[in-house]
Amino acid sequence: MSNEQNVNNKKSNKTVATTLRKFDTKVQYLKYKVLREVARHTYDDTLTQSFNDIAKTIVKDKATMRCCIYKERAIVSQRIEMASGGHKEKDNIVEVLDIACDECPIGGYEVTQACRGCLAHRCEDVCKRGAITFDENQKAHIDKSKCVECGMCAKVCPYNAISNTQRPCVKACKVKAISMDENNAAVVDESKCINCGACVYQCPWGALSDKSYIIEVVNLLKNYAGDTKTRLYAVVAPSISGQFSYADITLGQVVTGIKQLGFHSVVEAALGADMVAYNEAKELAEKGFLTSSCCPAFVDFVEKNFPELKDNISHNLSPMAEISKYIKENDPGAKVVFIGPCTAKKAEIRKDNIKPYVDSALTFEELQALFDAKGIELTELGESELNNASYYGRIFARCGGLAEAVQEALKEQGNEDFELHAVSCDGIEECRTALLKASKGIGNVNFIEGMACVGGCIGGAGCLTHGPKNKLEVDKYGKLAMEKTITDSIKNL
Amino acid sequence: MEIRVCIGSSCHLRGSYDIINLMKSGIEKNNLEDKVNLAAAFCLGKCGDGVSIKIDEQVISGVTAENFNEVFDTYVLSAV
């Protein structure tokens, strides 16, 4: 190979690496490409006639993902439908793309080839149901009519020969909203689903997806960019801090990019978080027991599973809604678009009490698609400032931040003698445990910080990347805030 | 009279909260509470030259704690 070719090869490898680094998985990348094309054609007013073209742009002349290009294109059309807002008659944000569902095996606990037919038979000994039998080679078998999937046999097998085959979507869904239909395709039970998006991120086939409001946002941008009467505001969640760092892009450049899309102003949702922390601390001191209300999936979870605790959910709006309300009170002509990591926010903004304040919502994935649809190259942009909130408002983005902020607000309000016994629930399973205890009056917890996603908002399904460094980024970003206390941040509002 | 002080990021970093405080005390000192409505704005389009304030339809930028009294006299006191 000549030197020149070598250089070229290196170059193209680098391009691939940069494209992929934006996302954790290729599923996200595929979804992004569809969103980008849908946004692009909406800008050009060519969406309705371009459905087939988009499918052909994304699935060229060779199948790379499924059995044939026709299936791939059929799935892309379902993705286009989701990118275009999904089924309007369904309120749920998360939907199943039935063609994309690979109908994964659902065997549960099964003995694998690794079983050596040993003498000990610990599996048999530990099985309370007598479900384990042995064949003539002394190899174990599980009688599925007796097995209750307790998993004890798998734990004791010295060869790890018993595996648990579960669908990734079912495993991801901690509220048990996913089951199978008669064709073995996944079905979402909307009466249980909290739209947290865990299945969307976990399904290896991308067969579950959140519906997108990207068309709505493009139309807002087309109608009102540069308008002096109807101004567009982007409210961005603090979890944005670690999201666009894939090519050393700074947050300041992202803010410039959002403005170039046509937003009049970019405002931190974290300022709303400061307001919430301040009011929530007061409410807590008054009522004595409270759960947070910031995470829409958590609120939905409480309402669906612990209705008796509904009145204990803080009466504050979420940070997104608080700041949007404030913006609209000060600028009645404003239109607000929330940009965050969250799929459940898309359901929250359609609630009757939130609807007046927030016009639409995007995820970071969708924001990336919008940048690329418009050809905005973030690395080439100058930096804009983003500074409205305090350290405490910003750390809402990670688990534990909210409780820390409420503690700080209690202190600032001179309520130091109120003893805060907070539990910060990292993920919906911890939320369930804390709520269960609270509903039975066990323990002395007086504040439940509920975060449906593991890690907090930085673990949200709409994030471009998920990883431990995101928490560090949020803390670093928090420390950059000019206002050091919550009171300083909101006293002049 | 409607006075809006920009609390967008750029102006915030340049001290818009100080200007709001000065504005509040200026209004109080001159007993203008009935005549002046003070509110916040997010971005008045002069990010490079903050703090910006908007008095009715006029945007005044480059307001600092140092020149505040002059601005207040010229645009508020003489106009109400």
Domains and CATH numbers, chain A: 3-103+197-210 (no CATH), 108-165 (3.30.70.20), 215-490 (no CATH)
Q: CB neighbours of A491 closer than 8 A, spacing ≥ 6? A: B17
Cβ of A330 and B43 within 8 Å? no
Partner residue facing A385 (CB), from B7, B13, B40: B13
Residue A438 has pLDDT above 60, yes or no: yes
Specify the DSSP element, H or E, that contains A303. helix A296-305
Q: Which domains does chain B have, with CATH numbers?
A: 2-77 (3.40.30.10)
Whole-number percent of chain A with pLDDT over 90: 90
Do A387 and B21 make contact, defined as CB atoms within 8 angstroms? no
**Quick one: average pLDDT of A350-372?**
97
Structure tokens at A310: 């509904």
* Integer Cα distance of A457 and A396 in angstroms: 8
Segment B7-64, tens digit of pLDDT: 999 999 999 999 999 999 999 999 999 999 999 999 998 998 989 999 999 999 999 9
Task: State pLDDT tens for residues A200-239.
Answer: 999 999 999 999 999 999 999 999 999 989 999 999 999 9
CA angle, corner B25, sides to B23 and B30, nearest 5?
Answer: 95
Q: Is A385 close to B20, i.e. CB distance below 8 A?
A: no
Instruction: Please judge whether B42 and A385 are an interchain contact, meaning their C-beta atoms are less than 8 angstroms apart.
Output: no
How many angstroms away from the CA of A18 is the closest CA of chain B?
A: 30
Residue A14 confidence (pLDDT): 44
Query: Is some CB atom of chain A closer than 8 A to the CB atom of B20?
Result: yes
> Phi and psi of B37, rounded to 5°?
-110, 120
Check pLDDT > 60 for residue A451. yes
Residues of A with CB below 8 A from B42's CB? Answer: 233, 264-265, 267, 327, 330-331
Is residue A9's pLDDT more than 70? no
Which residue of B4, B9, B40 is in closest CB contact with A493? B40
Which residues, other chains included, contact A365 with Cβ-Cβ below 8 Å and sequence gap of 6+?
A23, A28, A31, A32, A35, A462, A463, A464
Q: How confident is the model at residue A8 (pLDDT cuts 50, 70, 90)?
A: very low
Answer yes or no: do B40 and A330 touch at CB < 8 A: yes
> A235: nearest CA in chain B?
B42
The arithmetic mean of pLDDT across residues A383-411, rounded, is: 96
pLDDT for position A19: 52
Distance from CA of A329 to the nearest CA of B (A): 9
Which amino acid, A163?
S
Distance from CA of B10 to the nearest CA of A (A): 6
Q: A493 CA to chain B: closest CA distance, Å?
A: 7
Return mean pLDDT, chain A. 93
The nearest alpha carbon in chain B to A480 belongs to B13
Alpha-carbon distance values, A433 to A5, A177, A399, A424, A443 (Å) = 59, 18, 16, 11, 12
pLDDT band per the 50, 70, 90 thresholds, residue A13: very low
Instruction: Decide if A385 and B47 are in contact by the 8 Å CB cutoff.
Output: yes
Interface residue B17 vs chain A (CB under 8 A): yes
**Residues of B whose CB is below 8 A from A389:** none
pTM above 0.90, yes or no: yes
> So what's the pLDDT on residue A17?
45
Taking CB atoms and an 8 Å cutoff, what residues of chain B touch A493?
7, 40
Does B9 lie at the interface with A, CB-CB under 8 angstroms? yes
Single out the residue of A209, A213, A212 nearest to residue A201, CA to CA.
Answer: A209
Residues of A in contact with B40 (CB under 8 A): 326, 330, 492-493
Subunit contact A493:B7, Cβ cutoff 8 A: yes
B40 close to A (CB below 8 A) = yes
Do B21 and A492 count as a contact with CB atoms less than 8 A apart? yes
**Span of A13-27, A146-160, A301-315 with lowest mean pLDDT:** A13-27
Share of chain A above pLDDT 70, in %: 96
Mean pLDDT, to the nearest integer, of A406-427? Answer: 96
The predicted pLDDT at position A107 comes to 85
